[in-house]
Amino acid sequence: MALSIILSKMCDNIFDLVYSDYDWEEHYFFDGPEDATLEDFENICNSLMPKAGYQAALKKSVPKKGGWICWSDVVESLISLLEEQGYQRVFLNSYHMAGGTIIGINDESIEDRLGFASPLITIYNRKLEKKMAEERKAKRNVRIGSLKKRVVQIIK
């Protein structure tokens, strides 16, 4: 499981705590104390991590909650601990692009939003898919051919 927590300072006092796991990213923005630096933010996050882990474990140990303790649980606990230290959660306006599938491989996935670029992307992706399918077929044929080796008999 890949985990990364990325900390960055966006402007004067806005800090970005990013939790990502595979292709999922969750941003948490904080308005920090006036004299806080990115290094201060990193240090406080690192120092609060054990306590955040402990709080996540306590939350999951309740019989009705249960389940696996994941990094997302630890990060959620870290958010409340940062707020206790004077970092205020800020919600920024954002624009989310939905998607995640390869454009144009299936007829139903053609994107109208791409306008004139849609046919170019579709043609490219279909050619690439065809090439990859041929490579997979060639590899499969090689594997099947290697499985048909004859057993050598030793005659005494």
Q: What's the mean pLDDT in 46-67?
A: 85
The pLDDT of residue 48 is above 90: yes
41 alpha-carbon distance from chain centroid: 22
pLDDT band at 147 (very low <50, low <70, confident <90, very high): low
Mean pLDDT of the chain, nearest integer: 79
The pLDDT of residue 6 is above 70: no
Highest mean pLDDT pick, 12-16, 39-43, 91-95, 147-151:
39-43
Q: What's the mean pLDDT in 88-109?
A: 73
Q: What's the mean pLDDT in 34-54?
A: 91
- Where are the domains positioned within the chain? 4-90, 107-147
Percentage of the chain lying above the pLDDT 70 cut: 74
- Residue 144: its pLDDT value, please? 66
Q: What is the pLDDT of residues 61-88, one digit of tens each?
A: 777 776 788 888 889 999 999 999 999 9
pLDDT band at 13 (very low <50, low <70, confident <90, very high): confident
CATH code matching the domain that covers 4-90, chosen among 3.40.30, 3.30.1390, 3.30.1600, 3.30.70: 3.30.70
